[in-house]
Amino acid sequence: MKRIIVTTTINEPTKAIKKFCGIDDWDCFIVVGDKKTPHELYRELEKKYPHVLYYSPEDQEKDFPELSGSIGWNCIQRRNLGFVKAYNLGAEIVATVDDDNIPYENWGKNLFVGKEIECDYFGTDLAVFDPLSATNNNFVWHRGYPLELVSKRRDVYYMGKIKKKVLVQADLWDGDPDVDAIARLTKKPCVKFQTNAPFCSNKISPFNSQNTFLSREVLPFYGVLPHVGRMDDIWGSYVLQKFFPGCVIYCPATVYQERNGQDLITNLEKEIMGYRNTLQFVNDLDNFENYLPEDTKSFWEIYRGCFDEK
């Protein structure tokens, strides 16, 4: 079974990137370059590690010019090109990771994607399940969780064990987590999750693209959506669950996030679209494209077309 890691970066090789380069029991580590990426440094890594593939801007433009143009440059959504590249290379599992999430020694070892497993099952009467509500760090909430539901999000109840066919495995993340800007501004979190077992819920739930494992089957239905600010991977996660309901589990933390420099007010501004629309988006998933800007709709059509079987 071919397994491929995908990331994108504009930074010099970080501690996390170097650690992922050293994980040689995965078939390939694709680093998607951008205009600002120090290309030569990544070409050196490509020479040093046989399983590392630096996917340069020139290669992206050559392979997928229309998709590249629909995304634009100097943005994290370039990783979509890495997803398509991984798919074309025959990946059965794709791990999407960020360049500031340092993998623990157990990263990628306890994989359940493609398997039917027994996991803890949590219920909520709300429209959306916040996965952090079932952890020891439920004072913050997952990025992209509807703000209207935040005050009641911890009203969850344990429903025992359930067997689940896993198509998406979202591992958690210790350290300075990528939660909503409102939570980061007001709570200043630094977390250490004590979750020991996989868990899931009876309702749709958000996951992000920083430490998540995707099956080949769902990859054509998951995009990190451009032109929607910091709802990019989150709205993408909800869209995936429209096509594959009940396929997501959450697992113990396997990375430590040493967060890259961020302007939290800028982050907040980029989350406004989500604050205004996420609950409606989730409640009206059959018509999700109605909530997308025209440029995002165009991207989605092009992106989906890249997975058409020839």
Whether residue 25 is contained in a domain is answered as yes
Contact 67, 306 (CB under 8 A): yes
* pLDDT (mean) for 242-248: 98
Rounded Cα gap, residues 184 and 240, in angstroms: 27
**Total structural domains in the chain?**
1
Res 308: pLDDT? 74
Rounded Cα gap, residues 293 and 147, in angstroms: 21
* pLDDT (mean) for 199-211: 98
Instruction: Report the chain's terminal Cα–Cα distance, integer Å.
Output: 21
Whether residue 255 is contained in a domain is answered as yes
Res 310: pLDDT? 41
Res 309: pLDDT? 57
Whether residue 111 is contained in a domain is answered as yes
Whether residue 310 is contained in a domain is answered as no
Q: For residue range 42-56, list pLDDT tens digits in order.
A: 999 999 999 999 999
More confident residue, 79 or 260: 79
Res 294: pLDDT? 98
Confidence class for position 17, pLDDT limits 50, 70, 90 = very high
Whether residue 20 is contained in a domain is answered as yes
CATH number of the domain enclosing 82: 3.90.550
Q: How high is the mean pLDDT of the chain?
A: 96
The model's pTM is 0.96
Whether residue 91 is contained in a domain is answered as yes
What is the domain extent for residue 208?
3-305
pLDDT at 261 over 90: no
Closest CA to 71 of 232, 239, 296: 296
Whether residue 243 is contained in a domain is answered as yes
Whether residue 122 is contained in a domain is answered as yes
Res 167: pLDDT? 98
